[in-house]
Amino acid sequence: MTTMEYIKTHLDFISTTYKIPEYIKKSILESIFVDGIGMVCRPPDYLDIIRSLQKFEKTEPDIYPAIINYCTEKNLEEVELYKKAGIARASFSKIRSMSKTGYNPSKATVLRLCLALELTIQQTQGMLETLGYHLSDASIKDKIISWCIENKIYDINTIASVLNEVTGDYYIY
């Protein structure tokens, strides 16, 4: 078996096992060549990255366990929470099962939950970051929400009114 056949065989196995898209597999094969003395020359990253995939399990982000913990801490029932946050029962149900379904609530929805739970700025950032969001210093809307949280202003309608007055957008609705 030649060096290139060996590489293709193992790459086929790895790409099937880890469901690597065909375009990535093709890119890897195009980056590999065998020089005149049988040495494989390639950028070092590709195969190393593929081997590293073994370390990762596919997990969906999930804020529901944190929501339950905060509800318990604050003696708040789920129904009270989603009503206070202005979230429909069906939407909250999606959040409840998000680890199984892959549902990802909007940033505004997460912010409403955090406000309803009266979380600190650090707790709010933690919830947002779990889903790939954050409160940015570059956004006037995010600065207003951060300021409100830091000053313990959690009323969603009040915050929405301030946001509308300053930016012309309700943002958290």
pLDDT tens, residue by residue, 100-148: 888 999 999 999 999 999 999 999 999 999 998 999 999 999 999 999 9
Beta bridge partners of 41: 33
pLDDT of 2 strictly over 60: yes
> Scanning the structure block, which residue is given the tokens 């939407």?
91
Tell me, what's the pLDDT at 107? 96
Domain boundaries, the chain: 3-55, 64-167
The helix-helix angle for 107-116 and 89-96 (nearest 10°) equals 100
Tell me, what's the pLDDT at 85? 96
pLDDT of 162 strictly over 70: yes
Please, what sign has the CA dihedral across residues 17, 22, 23, 25? positive
Tell me, what's the pLDDT at 3? 64
For residue 6, with 0-12 CB atoms within 10 Å meaning exposed, 13-18 middle and 19 or more buried, which class applies?
exposed
H runs (alpha helix) in 57-106: 64-73, 78-84, 89-96, 98-101
Positions of E strands within the chain: 33-34, 40-41
Task: Express each pLDDT in 15-49 by its tens digit.
Answer: 666 667 777 777 766 666 555 555 555 555 556 66
User: In sequence order, which residues have a C-beta less than 8 Å from that of residue 62 and are 6 or more positions away?
Assistant: 98, 99, 130
Give percent above pLDDT 90 in the chain.
58
CATH number of 64-167: 1.10.260
CA neighbours closer than 13 Å in the CB half-sphere of residue 170: 9
Distance CA 21, CA 26 (A): 9
| Higher-confidence position of 51 and 62 | 62
| Higher-confidence position of 72 and 41 | 72
Tell me, what's the pLDDT at 154? 97
Task: Express each pLDDT in 126-135 by its tens digit.
Answer: 999 999 899 9
Tell me, what's the pLDDT at 156? 96
